[in-house]
Each structure stands twice: as C-alpha cells, then as structure tokens.
Structure 1
C-alpha cells in the first residue's frame, strides 16, 4: 500500500499548510532533500495549541500535539512535492518540547510524530531524531518539530 493509500485507509485527513508568521518559507528543497520548517500543533480553527509540559500539559497531551504536527508535516510534504508517494525516507526530526525544568519525558512526547510517520510511510518513516526540552517556544506553543525528508525523483 502506498503512503497516499495508507493515509486514506487510516481515515486521516491532512490539514491546510499554515502560512508562515515571519520571514521564512514552510519548506525548501535542495536536490533530493526537503527541509521542513518547525511547526507547532494547530487546532482545527488554525490557532496554536499552547502550554507547558509538566505544568499544564500532560505527556498524553504532548503526544497528541506531536501527532498533529506529524499530520501538518505530511500536508507540507504533499504541498511541496505533490504526493506522499515521493517520500524516499524521513532522514531526521528535531523535536522541541516546551517543558518545565524537571520534565524528562521529551522522547515520549515526540513519539506522537514519529509513530504517525511510520504508520503512514512504513519503513520510509523511520528516522534519526533528537527530542529536547526548551524554556519557551514561539507563542507559547507546546511542541515544535522540524524535519529533513529525502524525496524520490518524479
């Protein structure tokens, strides 16, 4: 089953790719590599999910936030290259968690995105990854994730 077929089979609907809020683009391709700008989780109305892990967001909340970012990343990939079927491999994720200093479950939060990418892309979704805590994130967002994706020739 192709990634596009898998997406339909799972009943997943990709959100609209957000418009950048500053002087940058959501993606940039260099050769076969597609660099995705960092994104935070967005609600259906387009507003950002805010909160701090270990204070007012739980690990389960953070996992859902990271999964939402994964859906947004898939939408960004599709916008950039036309189809998820062109993904050769997810190379690297950088997951940043807005967390209290005592919070230590950053990897469990970022698993929300990682699990989704493997669910939809199969082995091509497996990736290298960093999951780190931050003292703050833009707009108070709970999680921010950026990625590097390898794309197949059209």
Structure 2
C-alpha cells in the first residue's frame, strides 16, 4: 500500500525511532511531500524527543518541516504509526518487517485520538528548536569536557 499516493486529506505520522530501525521517514522525502502538498494534503509528524539527536532523523525532520509538514517532538512514550485520512492506519508488524494495515473504524479512531493527544502535548519544531538540537548534538560529540557556548558550563 502506497500511503503517500492514496492519501487525499491528511497524513499523520508518529516516529518512535532513533534512526536505528526503519520507520515511515521515507514518506517525508522531497518527492512524496511535494506530491502531497500539491494535492493539498496536510502532513503532521511527531518524533520522540531523543530522536532529534540522531543525524539522519534530524535531517528528515528538517526536510519535512521545510517541505511544509508540521513537526513536533514529545518526551512521552510514542508508538510508531501512520494514519491516512483517518480511515487507514499502519503499525509495525510484530516480526519487525513490514506493517499491519488497520481499517476497522473504531481502532483507527482510537489511534487517531492517541495521536491527537500526543500532538497537543508535543513541542513544535521551529527553526530555533532545530538549531538547538543541532547545537546539542555537536556539544555531545565534542565530549563531556566541552562547554556550551550558550550556557558557559559543561553540557553534561
């Protein structure tokens, strides 16, 4: 099932990954985003807070935001899911390969409500947040003896 091509109104994505396992980030590449936005599809994506510290995830988040998607991060628990037009949802399969397609209206509604609750409590990823995440990652790479230029004290 090609979610990006079938989506007509809204695509909701939740990413719990930290870049170590595949997720729905491929939906946020330039071609699908351009296609979605050309059709007037709203894209909202939530990433678990530690995810922005992974370089690949940071690039995907920035690409999504630059492409018009609304991006937020949450410090709470987050189950990976994709919800298409509030009618179909995808969740990871138990074996770690592929996804389960959920079309039962009650389950999709419940999953949408979980996403919406997470969305409301998540922090928007704006340009300043992107710069902050990049700064934290650079400081972490430099080691614990490095001082943050903004705080003037050790980063850890």
Q: What TM-score comes out, normalization by structure 1 length?
A: 0.31
More helix by share: 2
The structure number with the bigger radius of gyration is 2
Structure 2-normalised TM-score?
A: 0.31
Q: Which has the higher strand share?
A: 1
